Amino acid sequence: MAVIVQKYGGSSVANAERIRNVARRIQRAHAAGNQVAVVVSAMGDTTDELIALAASVSANPDPREMDLLLSTGEIVSCTLVAMALRDMGVGAVSMSGEQAGIRTDRLHGKASIVALDPARVRYELDQGRVVIVAGFQGVNEEMDVTTLGRGGSDTTAVALAAALGASLCEIYTDVEGIYTADPRIVPTARKLTELGYEEMLELASYGAKMHPRSIELAAWYKIPVLVAHSVKDAPGTLIHDIAGGDGVEITKKVRGVTYEKGVARITVRAVPDRPGIAASLFDPLAAAGVSVDTIVQNASAERLTDLSFTVDKVDLHRALDVVRPVAQQMGAKDVVSNDSLGTVSIVGTGMQNAPGYASTMFRSLADAKINIEMITTSQIRITCIVGEAQVPAAVRALHKAFELDAAS
């Protein structure tokens, strides 16, 4: 008997009708003789509504209390799906992250799963019941509820698939798969039939609609992940281990264009250029749980340098609270920030070993009159930080420049 893990996003369970539709899809999988474990996100915009509610009663909500509050959204979803299944005659049981055996580290808001004991989930599956698990959450060593960050239900699903030995993790959402670009910005974007883990990780890390840690887990445990539409029975995108091949060189190395909004930059100006300065700045940021992305240090002039880095916009105030006193101790001139930035990236295996991709990217952005603020690269990605308002135009320009349109 095969074990199937399915995950349904917030739009898929946004109201009673959609919950019943999800229950019917689960019923079909169960009726086919499979053991079915399901992970659900909070209904629709519930998470945003809870964040706004917290902000209405507290200017600076405690992270522990925020996690407990936000975890309730997924609890509501999983109980309602279980109720809908029971009305259809399907045995079902809902579980919180804690009940499902999910243990995390102590970092509230962006916790990582450190262990998953699926004993209770496995027991219920063996009794013939469908198990509905609240995504996005777990508990730490102190038994405090933690959340995994935006999109964390994807990570819950892949981790559960790995723990149960499932052969496939199915991610159902409001799009038919992974596209060469966001179809809302580029209507001619193509759906990709398959992607390797490495390419998908870069796409997810820079804006594609999947949690990056879910792809890391899938790659580590070699769990194929299918991304498909929760209502339409259309072929999705399979993310799996693409190795070897037929020896034919891929002509179009750029697989997709992705983006992020809500990026902020902090610049520490006129920092004394001496050993240990970077460590003294970034160590306290790490201790405060602030993730830093792109880092650029200017060439030293008169033994002074400017140090710039990007963070998520929601972390900007927390980061500034850490950086300002450190910069003062360093003897830096001042600290400035910009919270109106975004990123646009091209992703594809083999770009670094082929000429022309960077120049094409930079030229197409220049032709679209888009100024590049910062640049960062990996072996399979080139990312430019640009003004947030210019992100859609940048995505369209790059999609066209690299001939990714459906008609090309």
pLDDT in tens, 301-358: 778 888 999 999 989 999 999 999 999 988 889 999 999 999 999 998 777 666 788 8
- pLDDT greater than 80 at residue 208: no
Provide the pLDDT for residue 205: 74
Q: Where are the beta strands (DSSP E) in 221-297?
A: 225-229, 237-240, 256-272, 295-297
Give the model's pLDDT for residue 305: 87
Judge whether residue 245 has pLDDT over 80: no
- Model confidence at 232, pLDDT cuts 50, 70, 90, reads confident
Confidence of residue 210 (pLDDT cuts 50, 70, 90): confident
Please name the residue that has the structure tokens 């309730």.
72
pLDDT band at 252 (very low <50, low <70, confident <90, very high): low
For residue 308, which of 325, 288, 323 has the smallest C-alpha distance?
323
Give the DSSP H/E element, type plus range, for residue 57.
helix 46-57
Report yes or no: 124 and 30 within 8 Å, Cβ to Cβ: no
Counting beta carbons within 10 angstroms of the beta carbon of residue 220, is it exposed (0 to 12), middle (13 to 18) or buried (19 or more)? exposed
Cα separation of 320 and 266, whole Å?
8
Q: What is the pLDDT of residue 150?
A: 83
Q: What would the mean pLDDT of 253-277 be, rounded to a whole number? A: 89
Q: What was the pLDDT predicted at 352?
A: 66
- Binned at pLDDT 50, 70 and 90, residue 407 comes out as low
The average pLDDT across 373-380 equals 87
Give the highest mean pLDDT range of 136-145, 173-182, 197-206: 136-145
Give the pLDDT of residue 408. 47
Amino acid identity, position 342: G
Instruction: In whole angstroms, give the CA distance from residue 233 to residue 28.
Output: 13
> What is the spatial distance between Cα 101 and Cα 96, in angstroms, rounded to a whole number?
9
Round to whole Å and give the CA distance between 133 and 124.
12
CA dist 38 and 4 (Å) reads 8
> For residues 370 and 306, what is the distance between their CA atoms, to the nearest angstrom?
23
385: its two tokens: 């930080």
> Is 396's pLDDT higher than 90?
yes
Packing angle, helices 212-221 and 197-205, rounded to 10: 160
pTM of the shown model: 0.81
Q: Which of 181-185, 329-333, 342-346, 402-406 has the lowest mean pLDDT?
A: 402-406
